[in-house]
Structure 1
């Protein structure tokens, strides 16, 4: 079921605040999907999802390969029959304030601060579609 990004169901937003692991799907340069488990956060006010990761990860390579316009991605989570997917365009951000903000959001959602990592970057997703059944 589609969610109205301007007025999402409160239960849908609550589901994105609960502690769940997610999967991030990016496309390899040959067009095949690359799906990996990630921790992620979602800010419905700005329609932005965030994933922190190492700059040498395959998901970062895939996003960068798409060019400056960004890469199409899907970010999903589920628990039993409940599921939610955010689709949009991802870019890689390396600026320290954006990465620090993403780490703080991660810590709030997952209840732990990741250990420092000088190779950490941010995959920032501008959400254009939300689907789910919660």
Structure 2
């Protein structure tokens, strides 16, 4: 994927919500609002969640599956899509917590089964960002 413009990077840094879409085992879409972070240098979007969540279970059930994030504010929007994976590795989770705290101004909740979903973004669409 080509580098994102400064205005797109700025939009992805705003403390907004997005929808995350994953596919259930029956093939139907599961769409939920989430907070996420963007790591432009690595091309990764990260979502903090728990291992027992439907979104995490969907991704575990379909290794190499794809996920889609869509952030919108008025007529501005961006969609990030890519292969997604679930990680419980403490270093990866800590990186997710660090970036979440920087973007949203407070750390995420700390449930015992906290994990991070990493989306290796390879497709992006946007409007007015």
Mapping of residues 57-76 of structure 1, within 5 Å: 57-67=53-63, 70-76=64-70
2:40 maps to 1:44: yes
Mapping of residues 1-134 of structure 1, within 5 Å: 5-67=1-63, 70-133=64-127, 134=129
**Normalising to structure 1: TM-score of the pair?**
0.92
Aligned residues: 128
User: Where has structure 1 moved over 4 Å in runs of 4 or more?
Assistant: none
Note if contact 2:48-2:108 (Cα within 8 Å) is conserved in structure 1: no
Structure 2 runs not aligned, ≥5 long: none
**Normalising to structure 2: TM-score of the pair?**
0.96
> Could you report, residue by residue, the CA deviation over 1:23-74 in whole angstroms, capped at 9, with x for unpaired residues?
100001111100001110011111001000011000001000102xx21110
- Once the two structures are TM-superposed, the CA of residue 117 in structure 1 deviates from its matched residue by 1.9
**In structure 2, the residue corresponding to 1:29 is in which secondary structure?**
coil
- Cα distance in 2 for partners of 1:96, 1:116 equals 13
